[in-house]
Structure 1
Amino acid sequence: MVSVFTNGRLRDGRSVDLTVDHGRIVAVDDHGPGRDALGATDLGGRLLLPPMAEPHAHLDKALTSEAVPNPTGDLAGAIDAWIAADERGVFTYDDMVARVDEAVRKLVLNGVTAIRTHVNAGGGAGTWHLDATRDAMSNWSDRVDAEFVGLVHTPIVGPGSDDNVAALRACAEGGALVGGCPHLEPDGAAAIDLALALAGEFGVPIDLHTDETLDPSMLTLPVLARRVIDTGFTGRVAASHCVSLGMQPPDVQAEVARLVAEAGIGIITLPQTNLFLQGREQATATPRGLTAVAALRDAGVVVAAGADNVQDPFNLVGRSDPLETAALLVMAAHVLPDDAYEMVSNAPRTLMGLEPVHFAVGDPAEFVAIDAPSVRAAIADAPADRLVVHAGRVVATTSTTRTIC
């Protein structure tokens, strides 16, 4: 079905009309008088931007800040609070479905058309979090592309690992990405080898929580890179967090970044949650808890950014808006606005195996039209007025009225 979107504005200032057919842009024409065809969607001169993507969510935990308070505010406190609540039976299947539904609703309204969510598995709970999250997201399948990652409890190697490995295997067999936390394992290299083996067996990608610590002595990212290179693994691989890389001297950052680029690993930095969780014990010159964004990008690594947790014990706030993440990249990672927007749009799409959007003929008909004069202004003001298009059709709109009385 052919659709026409008129009077959109590209970043270079050109006003254009987009013709869309079967989810693809088939024409990009200058906007002019008489081009507003009957049935066309008038974009009202809004700025056209690639759709945003959330490459690292925890939808099963979302919106639980009130139910699961974090008394210490740090990572250990969040983990302890979550485990205690889980053991008390605070969470039910229906509750999780409802929370995931609301979290996805917020993301889509803000311009997100692709989500990768990590979901807890193992630890005696099996895969019910994954089942509930998938149930909730099935209602959004025509509005957003989704990937699921089995975030298995530790350990997955050594004593006490059998149930966790079984849960991870079940997740991968069902098409979920292989997840985990090798830096928390008794043998990180063995855990990485198992993750690669399972991903290869079931033909799924990998996304590992990696080095989420300020301790510079803990650095498993180069181990992951070398194992990917040595095994010849050809699937998609992402490493999330990679906080300790940011604590290394420049020469180490550069060498690890070179290895990561050679391995073809994508990196996902998570400023919202890591700025909240990391560095509380260091009152002087408090580190930022971010990875070595500049060194990685200089080496040619695809670096994406996500929110991680939203309004839960791991991050008490968050608007489910990637423009919030982009603003933090500008302020805390010294990334310029255009690059920051790329890190919350086309970069995560690439890591998710989706095509980037540049508003060329043949591109996916995916975009957000936002009421802002520039990318910088969009990040700075985060205007609520947005129109979101996925697979060639409008899937969300927000219009506001502001009045001074």
Structure 2
Amino acid sequence: MDLLIRNARLEDGQPLQDVAIDDGKISQVSEDIQGQATEEIDADGRVLIPGFVESHVHLDKALISDRRPNKSGTLQEAITVTAEIKPTFTKEDVYERARRVLDMIVAHGVTAIRSHAEFDPAQGFTGFDTILDLKEEYKNLVDIQVVAFPQEGIFKAPGTEKMMYEAMEKGADVVGGIPYNDAPANEHIDLIFEIAKKYDKDIDLHQDFSDEADNISIEYLCKKTIDEGYQGRVTVGHFTALHALPDEKLYPIIELMKEANINVISLPPTDLHLGARHDEYNVRRAITPIRKFRDSGLNVSISTNNIRNAFTPYGNGDILQSAMLAIPTAHLGGADDIVTVLPMITKNPAQAIGLKGYGIEKGKQADMVLLDTKVVKDAIIDIPTRLYVIKNGRITVKTTKEIEIFR
């Protein structure tokens, strides 16, 4: 054995388990594994979980909030000010900022990332190419999927359609899109499917991001997904507009989403910051209706989106903070609800982004995090220290702390 973790808490109310790792894979999970390993960790009853999955993040435009602040706090100003400064980004600039954010994210226990990387005729492929380079540089610390993302739209920004195909040839893993920021939205969706089918890639869209549900394209997207045989291969992020629908309009859409097997990623840090900016009183939360989606059987995840830019002027790369934020805002704090939140940053996003060999079982990839808490249901609300992060069977992060209280 290369690594042996003893006395780990995998489930509440169940005996502690030992987890053996060999050649990057989990070779055994059971009580009291006999033998020795090159390296051993005594978990002492602490919680061991699969690595966190950051399923929707923007590495290329992180840490720029001080360059051109979003004074109104609206989505439109965020898009505008970011578009103005993106042409000033250099490869060195994107590399330095994205690397700082990756180090934050990795230290907080994330072992897989899906990053939307932008390009357009004004800035070229500067940011996109840099994220592709970092995918290779960080491959021993975190798996990175790169999404070809046309933030400024495709038809609105002539020349972007050609760049979409170039991005796929350069090595993009996923085809991204943003129907609500292009016109017409349905033709935008059609083009995304055309590209995805050409390269046999999954689709991940910034979908229906608004306070109102008066101009949504989700129904067209679902029907297109079904017609193209892409069930399970389409993910939508943000998707806040549906919070504005009454149940009699919402649930038929949910049934259509279930038929299309659409994955949903809620982004509370950004959506709470940008949403309902024009409400003068009784201000809405304006986030994805997580509970209703979850209860209907849709695959729902939580992610961070942006870190310290015009869309989200805060964040430290800790996905547990995003999950914790979702608990009160989406009414997920009840005894039966809180246990459903940890899967929204582990196995649910792993399914959404198509990770293979994910989980703590024999034969699975040895990507795990040991948390400084002894109760699984408290894994989020404790916001525990990530004591060990293990990637491909190798310890990549070790955190030690010493607290002394003087009375």
1:80 is aligned to 2:76: no
1:98 is paired with a residue of what secondary structure? helix
Report how far residue 386 of structure 1 moved. 2.1
Contact kept, 8 Å, 1:96 with 1:132, in 2: the verdict is yes
- The whole-number CA distance in structure 2 between the counterparts of 1:385 and 1:399 is 9
Q: Are residue 269 (structure 1) and residue 270 (structure 2) matched?
A: no
Correspondences of 1:156-305 after superposition (within 5 Å): 156-157=154-155, 161-176=157-172, 177-233=174-230, 236-305=233-302
Check the 8 A contact 2:232/2:263 in 1, yes or no: no
Aligned to 2:39, what secondary structure does the other structure show?
coil
In 2, Cα distance between the equivalents of 1:155 and 1:205? 19
> Taking every aligned residue pair, what percent have the same amino acid on both sides?
30
Matched, 1:66 2:66: yes
SS in 1 for 2:341: helix
**Higher mean displacement: 218-227 or 67-76:** 67-76
Q: Distance in 2 between matches of 1:37 and 1:193?
A: 53
State the shift of 1:35 in Å.
6.3
Q: CA deviation at 1:365?
A: 1.6
**Aligned equivalent of 2:43:** 43
Q: 1:235 to 1:170 in 2, by over 3 A?
A: farther
Cα separation, 1, equivalents of 2:379 and 2:120: 41
Moved over 4 A (4+): 34-38
Alignment check: 8 A CA contact 2:112 2:144 kept: yes
Cα RMSD (Å)? 2.0
What displacement does 1:254 show?
1.2
Letter in 1 for 2:250: Q
- Cα deviation, residue 161, structure 1: 4.6
Deviations 1:25-69 (A, max 9, x none): 22112148x866563233343211121110100101111222232
Higher mean C-alpha deviation, range 185-194 or range 9-18: 9-18
Residues 1:359 and 1:235: Cα distance change in structure 2 (over 3 Å)? closer
Q: Distance in 2 between matches of 1:38 and 1:341?
A: 31
The question of 1:92 aligning with 2:93 is answered no
Q: 1:151 touches 1:179 (CA, 8 Å); kept in 2?
A: yes
CA–CA separation in structure 2 for the residues paired with 1:155 and 1:7:
51
SS of match in other structure, 1:86? helix
**Per the alignment, do residues 224 and 38 of structure 1 end up closer, same or farther by CA in structure 2, a change over 3 Å counting?**
closer
| TM-score between the two structures when normalised by the length of structure 1 | 0.93
**Kept after mapping to 1: 8 A contact 2:373/2:384:** yes
How far the C-alpha of 1:152 sits from its partner, in A, is 0.7
C-alpha distance in 2 between matches for 1:187 and 1:9 = 51
Choose which of 100, 111, 117 in structure 1 pairs with 2:109.
111
Matching residue's letter, 1:165: E
How far apart, in 2, do the equivalents of 1:229 and 1:4 lie?
Answer: 45
Q: Does 1:395 align with 2:393?
A: no
| Letter in structure 1 aligned against 2:166 | A
Counterpart for residue 384 of structure 2: 383
Unaligned regions of 5+ residues in structure 1, if any?
A: none
Give the Å deviation of 1:116.
0.5
Please report how far the alpha carbon of residue 235 of structure 1 lies from its aligned counterpart in structure 2 after TM superposition.
7.0
Shift of 1:357: 4.5
> Does residue 315 of the first structure (1) align with residue 312 of the second (2)?
yes
Q: Distance in 2 between matches of 1:162 and 1:315?
A: 28
SS in 2 for 1:4: strand
Alignment check: 8 A CA contact 2:267 2:303 kept = yes
1:152 partner letter:
P
Q: Would you say how many aligned residue pairs link Structure 1 and Structure 2?
A: 400
Counterparts of 1:377 and 1:235 in 2: how far apart (Å)? 30
Q: Name the SS for the 1:49 alignment partner.
A: strand
Confirm or deny: 8 A CA contact 1:123 1:153 kept in the other structure. no
Q: Structure 1 pair 385/198, CA: closer, same or farther in 2 (3 Å)?
A: closer
Residues 192 and 37 of structure 1: CA distance in aligned 2, closer, same or farther (over 3 Å):
closer
